[in-house]
C-alpha cells in the first residue's frame, strides 16, 4: 500500500494511459466513416488520471489510520 500511495502520480498516469489506449484501440476496431471519437482519447486520459490521483490523494489518510489500528489491535477483555 505504501508503494501505491508514494507513487500515486505514476500510478494514476499509468491507469489513465491504459484506459485511453483501450478506448483508442476499440475505436480503431470499429472503424466507421464518422469516427470522431478518437479525438476524445486525450481527454479521457486526463480525466481518468485526475480522478485516480484525487481518489488516491483523498484516501491516503484513511489507509494510514487503518494500518495503525491493525498494528495496535483491539484491547483484551
The CA distance from 6 to 60, in Å, is: 9
Beta carbons of 9 and 56 less than 8 angstroms apart: no
Least confident of 16-20, 48-52, 57-61: 57-61
Question: 17 pLDDT exceeds 80?
Answer: yes
The DSSP-derived string for 47-59 is HHHHHHHHHHHHH
What would the mean pLDDT of 47-73 be, rounded to a whole number?
81
Q: Where are the domains of the chain?
A: 2-72
Tell if the pTM clears 0.75, that is, is over it: no
pLDDT at 19: 95
Amino acid at each position: 500500500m505504501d508503494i501505491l500511495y508514494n507513487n500515486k502520480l505514476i500510478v494514476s498516469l499509468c491507469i489513465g494511459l491504459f484506459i485511453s489506449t483501450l478506448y483508442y484501440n476499440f475505436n480503431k476496431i470499429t472503424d466507421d466513416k464518422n469516427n470522431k471519437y478518437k479525438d476524445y482519447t486525450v481527454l479521457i486520459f486526463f480525466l481518468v488520471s485526475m480522478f485516480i490521483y484525487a481518489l488516491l490523494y483523498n484516501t491516503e489518510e484513511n489507509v494510514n489510520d487503518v494500518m495503525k489500528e491493525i498494528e495496535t489491535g483491539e484491547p483484551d477483555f
